[in-house]
Amino acid sequence: MNSKMREVVNEHMDTIIEKWIDLMKEEKGERFFHFMPQHLVEKTSREFTMLMTSNINEGDTVLNNERLDDFTEKVVRFGWSIKFVNKAIDNFASVVFELLEDKEIITEQNLRIFMGVFTAWINPLRESIIEAYAIKWEQTDALQKVALQELSASLIPVVDKVSIMPLVGTIDTERAKLIMENLLEGVVQQRADVVILDITGVPVVDTMVAHHIIQAADAVRLVGAKCMLVGIRPEIAQTIVALGINLSDFTTTSTLRRGMQEALSLTNRQIVEVE
C-alpha cells in the first residue's frame, strides 16, 4: 500500500508542489511566498517537498537527519516562524491526502489505516522541526547573553585620570553585579581618579537600579576614586525624586559634556582653546 502511495506522490510531485504553494500563499503573516523571487520559492518548495517525502521514499521509520538539519537551517535562515513551518507541514499533508483521495488510493475502507500512515509520517517531522528550532533558540539565546555581557559594561579611559562607563539597556541584579565588577577592576587598572557613569541609555531608573548605582559609587569611593552620575534625563529626575531616592551624595549632571567638565575640574584641569 505504501509503495502505491509513494508511486502516486512521486508521479504527481509537480501538482503537489503547485497546490501547496497556492495554499501557502493564502497564509497570512508570512511574506515569503509573496515577495521572494519565483525561482527561490520554487527551489525552497522543492527542497521542502523532498524532505517531506524523503521518509516515505526511504521507508517509514528512517528519517534522514542530515537532510532535516540542512533543511531546518535553511528555513531558519529564511526567517520563517515555527508556526508557519508547522502550517507548511499541515498543508503539505492535506494536499497529499486530497491527491490520494482523488486517485482513489485512499478509500473509505482503508481510511483508518491511512490515518496511521499519515501520523507516522507527519509526527516525527513535526517533532524534529520543533526540536531543531528549540536548539536554535537556545543557541541564539546563549549567544545573545554572551553578546549582552560583552556590551553591558566597559570602562573607557577617555583622558588621563578620567574614565567613562556608558550604561545601555535595562539593569537587573545579575547585570548590576557585572557592572560593579567591571567598574572597580577598571578603576584600579586604569588608575582613574574620577569615573563617570553615563545612564543616558538606561530606560528606567527605579529604586532597585538606583540602589545598585549607589552601591557601585560607594564601592568606587572605597577603592579610592570618585564616581559621578551623568545623563539624567528629565523623566529620570522626576522618578528619582518621586521615589524618594537620595542621590545627594553624588555629583550628578544632565549631560555627559557637563559631567566631563566637572570631572576635569575635580582633577584640577580644564579645557582651553589654543590659538
Which residues make up the interface to another protein (CB under 8 A)? 180-181, 184-185, 187-188, 191, 193, 215, 218-225
Give 47 or 193: the residue with its C-beta nearer to another protein: 193
Cα–Cα dist 148/230, whole Å: 22
130 contacts: CB under 8 Å, gap ≥ 6: 82
CB of 186 to another protein, least distance (A): 9
CB atoms within 10 A of CB 263: 27
CB of 199 to another protein, least distance (A): 19
Q: Which residues pair with 235 in a beta bridge?
A: none
Q: How far is CA 208 from the centre of its chain?
A: 26
Instruction: Tell how strand 162-168 and strand 156-159 pair up.
Output: antiparallel
CB of 184 to another protein, least distance (A): 3
What type of residue sits at position 47?
A: E
CB of 225 to another protein, least distance (A): 7
Give 125 or 213: the residue with its C-beta nearer to another protein: 213
Burial of 6 (0-12, 13-18, 19+ CB in 10 A): middle
Give 43 or 221: the residue with its C-beta nearer to another protein: 221
| The three cell numbers locating residue 14 | 509537480
CB of 178 to another protein, least distance (A): 9
Q: How far is CA 150 from the centre of its chain?
A: 16
